[in-house]
Amino acid sequence: MTILFKNAKILTFSDDKIINGELLVKDNLIAYIGPKCTIKADKIIDCEGNLLMPGFKNAHAHTAMIFARSASDDLPLHDWLYDCIFPMEEKFIEGDIYHLTKVGILEYLSGGITSAFDMYFNPPEIVKACEEMGFREVILATSLKEPVSLVKERYINWNKKGSLISYNLGIHAEYTTPLERMKDISKLANELHAPVFLHIGETKDEVQGCVDRYGVTPLKLLDSLGMFNYGGGGFHCNYLSDEEITIAKKRNFNIVTCPASNLKLASGIAPIYKYQKAGLNIAIGTDGAASNNSLDMFKEMYLVSTLQKLTNNDASIMDGYDVLKMAVVGSAKAMGLDNCDTLSEGKYADIIMIDLSNPAMQPLNNIKKNIVYAGSKDIVKMTMINGKILYFDHKFLIDEDINQIYKKAQEITDRLKG
């Protein structure tokens, strides 16, 4: 199957240019990008001058947590977690994660997100939902209930499972993980030459707790166990010390920032400009809908830029286009998705179309910055993953009844709340 996109503006992210031309998708790969494709395609889509670019990569998510969207708001972090979230999660039964994940995927598709780095319970159910819907997913399994032997087995098997699913090593966080488990995961990372990911530096209390327990800050502690000898990354990173920034640089440790969640839970503001100056790779995630409450990369990008301008008292920093690159290429790098980070021949066709006829995109002064500063999910006209168009003109093109997906999620949510 070949699909030719003609009359397009194309931002490949291989360089910074926007070109006018055509893009050919053959099966699940990009087969041509240039001024004029001479291959006869099975299907032709006239882009009418709209922009093609790689999809956004959501570098930190708990997709199935849509059940707690607006069911747990306006509470201090501790009460939110212990009085609302944990009691609801205790009521999960088989199949819940599978059904809930599907709603999150629909939200991703409508916002141009083509892959997520997902940390939640019951990974096989997440995999099933993603494969059925054609969504690209990087799984991070961190449950203490899963023995390290199972983690190893999944790492080896799931990373060759097919193009849509990949798997990484992780722990939930230092404060929720026994020292023995942290040592075991570090050992496994060294055996497999694998990176390790975790929540880190989200709150001041978390950092202080680690200092009280071990006498050192979390990143320093975990690095001393050899956890990041093959890289890794941290979700949130609101509070990394200068010493930890040096360690992060040395270990190619990726920073994944989630500003909306951090603001809503009053956790803090990550010093992204400082990390950027230190030369760290920066990725962007939404976190879960329980704390955000939307899974929307446009909101995150706007906050990444504007919060740094405000906190550094300098409107000239954190360029909008740099932030757009973080949401695409930076996130892809953190997630190990160098096979779909840019629009390039031979890479997976994870492509979105931005509607430049949307009033928020007019006039066309600077398309790249417009996406960050004026864009919203409204401007996403198409989402293609692995060569399949799953969303077009505000309609989902999947083989399932959307209302049934919502109905099932509502039933589960009502039970969890009851």
Q: How far apart are CA 237 and CA 9, in angstroms?
A: 36
Please identify the residue of the shown chain whose CB is closest to the bound Zn ion.
287
Taking the complex as a whole, the smallest distance from the CB of residue 121 to Zn ion amounts, in Å, to: 13
Taking the complex as a whole, the smallest distance from the CB of residue 182 to Zn ion amounts, in Å, to: 18
**CA end-to-end span of the chain, whole Å?**
48
What is the number of residues in the chain? 418
Nearer to Zn ion, 31 or 304 (CB): 304
- Which among 23-31, 110-118, 145-153, 284-292 is the span making contact with Zn ion, rule CB under 5 A? 284-292
- Which among 27-35, 285-293, 345-353, 363-371 is the span making contact with Zn ion, rule CB under 5 A? 285-293
360 φ/ψ angles, rounded to the nearest 5 degrees: -70, -15
- Which among 21-29, 69-77, 280-288, 376-384 is the span making contact with Zn ion, rule CB under 5 A? 280-288
Q: How far apart are CA 123 and CA 410, in angstroms?
A: 21
Nearer to Zn ion, 287 or 296 (CB): 287
Q: How far apart are CA 78 and CA 60, in angstroms?
A: 21
Nearer to Zn ion, 287 or 341 (CB): 287
Nearer to Zn ion, 12 or 262 (CB): 262
- Chosen residue from 22, 137, 244, 287 binding Zn ion by CB under 5 A: 287
Taking the complex as a whole, the smallest distance from the CB of residue 258 to Zn ion amounts, in Å, to: 7
Strands (E), 126-195: 136-141, 165-173
Taking the complex as a whole, the smallest distance from the CB of residue 65 to Zn ion amounts, in Å, to: 9
**Long-range Cβ contacts of 174-182 (<8 Å, 24+ apart):** 174/198, 174/200, 174/206, 174/210, 174/218, 174/221, 174/222, 175/206, 175/209, 175/210, 177/144, 178/144, 181/144, 181/148, 182/222, 182/225, 182/227
388 φ/ψ angles, rounded to the nearest 5 degrees: -110, 130
Taking the complex as a whole, the smallest distance from the CB of residue 71 to Zn ion amounts, in Å, to: 17
3-state class (DSSP) for residue 33:
strand
- Whether a cis peptide bond, with omega within 30° of 0, leads into 259 is no
Nearer to Zn ion, 86 or 156 (CB): 86
Of 51-80, binders to Zn ion (CB under 5 A) are none
Taking the complex as a whole, the smallest distance from the CB of residue 158 to Zn ion amounts, in Å, to: 21
Nearer to Zn ion, 112 or 170 (CB): 170
Nearer to Zn ion, 170 or 387 (CB): 170
- Which among 159-167, 279-287, 297-305, 331-339 is the span making contact with Zn ion, rule CB under 5 A? 279-287
Taking the complex as a whole, the smallest distance from the CB of residue 293 to Zn ion amounts, in Å, to: 13
- Whether a cis peptide bond, with omega within 30° of 0, leads into 293 is yes
Taking the complex as a whole, the smallest distance from the CB of residue 61 to Zn ion amounts, in Å, to: 8
Taking the complex as a whole, the smallest distance from the CB of residue 342 to Zn ion amounts, in Å, to: 27
- Which among 27-35, 92-100, 283-291, 394-402 is the span making contact with Zn ion, rule CB under 5 A? 283-291
Residues 60 and 291: beta-carbon distance below 8 Å: no
- Which among 20-28, 65-73, 74-82, 282-290 is the span making contact with Zn ion, rule CB under 5 A? 282-290
3-state class (DSSP) for residue 344:
coil
Q: How far apart are CA 302 and CA 313, in angstroms?
A: 16
- CA 204, distance to chain mean position in Å, is 24
- CA 261, distance to chain mean position in Å, is 13
Nearer to Zn ion, 107 or 287 (CB): 287
Of 363, 318, 413, the C-alpha closest to 67 is 413
Task: Based on the shown chain and the rule CB under 5 A, indicate whether residue 118 belongs to the binding site for Zn ion.
Answer: no
- Which among 179-187, 189-197, 281-289, 338-346 is the span making contact with Zn ion, rule CB under 5 A? 281-289
Instruction: Count residues near Zn ion (CB under 5 A).
Output: 1
Taking the complex as a whole, the smallest distance from the CB of residue 262 to Zn ion amounts, in Å, to: 10
Nearer to Zn ion, 118 or 287 (CB): 287
- Which among 44-52, 84-92, 286-294, 409-417 is the span making contact with Zn ion, rule CB under 5 A? 286-294
Taking the complex as a whole, the smallest distance from the CB of residue 169 to Zn ion amounts, in Å, to: 16
**Long-range Cβ contacts of 373-377 (<8 Å, 24+ apart):** 373/302, 373/305, 373/320, 375/298, 375/301, 376/296, 376/298, 377/110, 377/111, 377/112, 377/296, 377/298
Task: Give the residues lining the site for Zn ion (CB under 5 A).
Answer: 287
